Amino acid sequence: MDKTPGIRFQNGSATIVVWAPRAKSVALHLVKHNSQLSLAAKKRGYWELETTQIQPGDLYKVVIDEQFFPDVASVAQPEGVHGPSQALDLAHFERTGTAWENPALDKYIIYELHTGTYSPEGTFDGIIGKLDHLEELGITAIELMPVAQFPGGRNWGYDGVFPYAVQTSYGGATGLMRLVDACHARGLAIILDVVYNHLGPEGNYFNNYGPYFTDKYKTPWGSAVNFDDAGCDGVRHYVVENALMWFRDFGVDALRLDAAHAIKDFSPVHILRELSQQVLALTKQTGRLYHLLAEVDLNDTRFIDPLDKCGYGLNAQWIDEFHHALRVSAGGETSGYYADFSGITDLAKSYRDAYVYDGVYSAQRQKTFGTKADHRPGGQFVVFSQNHDQVGNRMLGERSTELFSFEMQKLMAGAVLIAPYLPLLFMGEEFSARSPFLYFIDHSDPKLVEAVRKGRSEEFKAFKTKSEVPDPKDKNTFDRSKLPWNDYHLSTGKAMFNYYKALIALRKQLPALAIPDRGSVRVEVLADKNILLLQRGKLQQVCAVLNFSREIQAVELPAGNSWVKVIDSADPSWKGPGASATLGQIRPESVIIYKNHDI
């Protein structure tokens, strides 16, 4: 089976493919003509038809045993998740970025954003209007939170129920294609967050088609997708073709696989390995480079080990543990999963070893956890001081702006951008945005809405606070999460932006920072002073001093080099209390980066 599910056009003819292995009859209902086209049964539950009677823009529904459903492989749902599907000719869009070459992952400096809250418009075109800002900042890749069609107009995207369709309120398929082209024209790569471990509850018609889910496993968010139970071949094909569609038809450069650890598959060839194999095949076919990134919390290098080393072949993974160690180092909370982290000692370990828990006992998990990642290069790990999860899953959605001092925010930014890994920023942190990023939904089923409300309240009931859990359904919750662009024009916003801009430029300029080389990393912990010394590079070297204490400190820089200061977060240029004039002296809650004279 090599055909993409759904409707695809070529030479004026439409090829229709539906996987419905339990069906006795399958047809397409054309809304415009109020007529039906019967599909022919093929092997292993597929139904097919080639016809000229449906054209791009036509609305339709799939009729399975005389029951009408939206197409689960629809590429457009203009009337929402319960309405008819719409046929589109994805190949008809005129691309303008044909000369674009996706850079190696080592070059990625990632900026994560949510389309609905990033701009006042809440659309792909709204993002295009902010590309000047992102280009000036110096980031090289934009990561979009999921855009697959979800219920209503407000959602994080992880409740999507039409993986092939682009959210209508964001601008649909053509809007996403315009954004991809606009980014490529400015030298920016596009990463798309996709969800293959579960599907949302409202508008989920998959059970009417076939065995898309299995009871063998559970996920925290709903039924587990069937990757290894009876009937799984059609599901695996559906998911692989979806990933290839984003690369092939939309020009996306990388996919971020949400919670890949929740993808359960005991097949001889894991679905992620199969996906990597198919993406490599697409690269050979198109000559274009594509990347697969994963959110994984298992500290298991099998996900990123190469295919020829019996791994799944994914190109990189997020490291939450770097975030946890950094937040504790900065004086953040120490409850929940943060209880497993001791501050700068664990941060130093993450700088050296990527994983903090790499085969050692975790008190929080009550077991020995993780494996060594010594054999994996730094370019396979993504680090951050905040992201949508770490902000949005707080009860009040507070950003670092609300939790840490202005100086500490700059220190944390420096800690991320000097790491021998791929840095990720969350929208607004570059200008110290003050708005929360809250959890919001727009479901239409009152029972489901109430269940979500109850779930959020239960999640935070142990917190001793007078604050109410924000109502996820209330539009005000969504509106409060809109990025406050006025903050960018404040003196603090401009100062923070200029600081981030300088840090990113420095990372690109200095080879010791630009190359995510773990082999040259040397870290010294000065526990009595709450200071880390991070040294990177070989002949060309940098030394960063990170002072997490609230006192002015003096340190002895590593011998053997003539050190020159290149950036000091305490500099008045970014509203700091004043840069230190003495070599090795550092202000409270600040970072200084030195380079040797040979650079």
**Tokens linked to 560:** 């053997």
- Burial string for 342-354 (b: 16+ CB within 10 Å, else e) reads ebbbbbbbbbebb
Give the pLDDT confidence score for residue 533 in this predicted structure: 98
Is residue 340 situated within a structural domain?
yes
Is residue 389 situated within a structural domain?
yes
The reply to whether 375 sits in an annotated binding site is no
pLDDT bracket for residue 7 (50, 70, 90): very high
Establish how many alpha carbons lie within 13 A of residue 218's alpha carbon, considering only the half-sphere containing its beta carbon: 1
Q: Is a pLDDT exceeding 70 seen at residue 312? A: yes
Q: Torsion angle, CA of 89/91/94/96, rounded to 10 degrees?
A: 140
Q: How many domains, the chain?
A: 3
The reply to whether 322 sits in an annotated binding site is yes
Contact in structure between 575 and 407 (CB atoms under 8 Å): no
DSSP structure string for 103-150: PPGGG--EEEE-HHHHSSS-SHHHHHTTHHHHHHHT--EEEEPP-EE-
| Tens of pLDDT, residues 337-357 | 899 999 999 999 999 999 999
- Same domain assignment for residues 360 and 316: yes
Q: What CATH number does residue 589 fall under?
A: 2.60.40.1180
Is residue 39 situated within a structural domain?
yes
Please give the sequence-ordered ranges of beta strands (E in DSSP) within 207-263, or none if there are none: 213-219, 222-225, 254-257
- Same domain assignment for residues 556 and 450: no
Q: What CATH number does residue 11 fall under?
A: 2.60.40.10
Give the pLDDT confidence score for residue 459 in this predicted structure: 83
Residues in the chain: 599
The reply to whether 257 sits in an annotated binding site is yes
The reply to whether 324 sits in an annotated binding site is yes
Q: Mutual orientation of helices 271-286 and 232-250 as an angle, nearest 10°?
A: 30
pLDDT bracket for residue 98 (50, 70, 90): low
- Same domain assignment for residues 43 and 144: no
Q: What CATH number does residue 333 fall under?
A: 3.20.20.80
Q: Is a pLDDT exceeding 80 seen at residue 463? A: no
| Tens of pLDDT, residues 475-510 | 999 999 999 999 999 999 999 999 999 999 999 999
- Same domain assignment for residues 311 and 429: yes
Give the pLDDT confidence score for residue 464 in this predicted structure: 57
Alpha-carbon distance 429 to 435, whole Å? 10
The reply to whether 389 sits in an annotated binding site is yes
- Same domain assignment for residues 49 and 144: no
258 is catalytic: yes
Q: Is a pLDDT exceeding 90 seen at residue 82? A: yes
Is residue 135 situated within a structural domain?
yes
Selected catalytic residue, list 253, 258, 265, 487 = 258
The reply to whether 259 sits in an annotated binding site is yes
Phi then psi for residue 15, to 5 deg, are: -105, 120
The reply to whether 320 sits in an annotated binding site is yes
- Same domain assignment for residues 72 and 158: no
The reply to whether 517 sits in an annotated binding site is no
Mean pLDDT of all residues belonging to the chain = 95
The reply to whether 390 sits in an annotated binding site is yes
Query: pTM of this prediction?
Result: 0.97
- Same domain assignment for residues 478 and 527: no
Arithmetic mean of pLDDT, 25-47: 97
The reply to whether 391 sits in an annotated binding site is yes
Is residue 80 situated within a structural domain?
yes
| Tens of pLDDT, residues 207-254 | 999 999 999 998 888 889 999 999 999 999 999 999 999 999 999 999
Is residue 510 situated within a structural domain?
no
**Tokens linked to 236:** 């695996």
The end-to-end CA distance of the chain, in Å, is 55
Give the pLDDT confidence score for residue 538 in this predicted structure: 86
The reply to whether 260 sits in an annotated binding site is yes
Give the pLDDT confidence score for residue 1 in this predicted structure: 47
Structural domain for 560, as ranges: 520-596
- Same domain assignment for residues 183 and 271: yes
- Same domain assignment for residues 486 and 527: no
- Same domain assignment for residues 279 and 356: yes
Selected catalytic residue, list 229, 241, 295, 353 = 295
The reply to whether 256 sits in an annotated binding site is yes
Phi then psi for residue 455, to 5 deg, are: -60, -40
The reply to whether 261 sits in an annotated binding site is yes
Q: Which amino acid is at 511?
A: P
Arithmetic mean of pLDDT, 553-563: 92
- Same domain assignment for residues 71 and 192: no
Strand-pair partners of 67: 64
CB atoms within 10 A of CB 51: 14
The reply to whether 392 sits in an annotated binding site is yes
Sequence-ordered list of residues with C-beta below 8 angstroms from that of 559, at least 6 positions apart, any chain: none
Establish how many alpha carbons lie within 13 A of residue 479's alpha carbon, considering only the half-sphere containing its beta carbon: 3
pLDDT bracket for residue 589 (50, 70, 90): very high
295 is catalytic: yes
- Same domain assignment for residues 49 and 150: no
Helix, coil or strand: residue 488: helix
Is residue 102 situated within a structural domain?
no
Is residue 177 situated within a structural domain?
yes
